[in-house]
């Protein structure tokens, strides 16, 4: 056992180049990897949904000959990805602080499902705009019903929210 620990110590010294900054960087990287590795698939899923929504949003804009500004679209998408990362990270931090490392992902899973459902709903709306004869409207209704059942939240937008959403899509 003593030889194993000595070998690990020598390897750690080699990676860190023996400097305090190198040792700190390796320790910090190890902690971040241990914290995020259990939820990496959740983060990837959210990011894939968001990028897919961006792609279909661009297709809708192109169909209606709206001016495409990559700066606006990418900036908005990067902001959205940043916020998703923060929400899921904070949910993980709360779970870790309360539950420890038991692997129960109620908050992170719930946040991911809500974000994913929202993005999927937006994708279905874009698909319905691109092809109104497709099954997208029915899938959207099904998704809304299941999302309401799962979250216990009424997903119906108020008139003001619908108008705001419409204005956001037009700009």
Given pLDDT bands bounded at 50, 70 and 90, which one contains residue 47? very high
- Within-domain flag for 114: yes
Q: How confident is the model at residue 87 (pLDDT cuts 50, 70, 90)?
A: very high
Asked whether residue 32 is domain-assigned, the answer is no
Domain housing 99? 39-170
Number of independent structural domains in the chain: 1
- Is residue 15 in a domain? no
The tokens for 150 are 């799962």
Give the pTM.
0.68
Better-scored residue on pLDDT, 116 or 6: 116
**Nearest to 47, CA basis, from 59, 55, 38:** 55
pLDDT the model gives residue 20: 81
Residue 146 is assigned to a structural domain of this protein: yes
What band does 71 get if pLDDT is binned at 50, 70 and 90? Answer: low
Q: Name the residue with higher pLDDT: 160 or 151.
A: 151
Query: What number of other Cβ atoms are within 10 A of residue 83's Cβ?
Result: 12
């Amino acid at each position: 056992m003593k030889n194993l620990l000595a070998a690990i110590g020598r390897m750690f010294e080699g990676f860190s180049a023996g400097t305090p900054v190198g040792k700190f960087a390796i320790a910090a990287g190890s902690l971040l990897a241990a914290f995020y590795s259990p939820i990496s698939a959740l983060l990837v899923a959210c990011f894939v949904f968001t990028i897919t929504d961006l792609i279909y949003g661009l297709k809708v804009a192109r169909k209606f000959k709206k001016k495409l500004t990559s700066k606006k679209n990418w900036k908005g998408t990067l902001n959205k990805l940043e916020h998703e990362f923060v929400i899921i990270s904070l949910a993980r931090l709360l779970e870790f602080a309360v539950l420890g490392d038991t692997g129960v992902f109620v908050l992170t899973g719930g946040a991911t499902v809500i974000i994913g459902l929202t993005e999927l709903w937006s994708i279905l709306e874009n698909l319905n705009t691109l092809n109104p004869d497709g099954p997208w409207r029915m899938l959207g209704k099904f998704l809304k019903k299941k999302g309401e059942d799962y979250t216990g939240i009424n997903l119906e937008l108020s008139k003001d929210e619908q108008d705001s959403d419409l204005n956001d899509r037009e700009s």
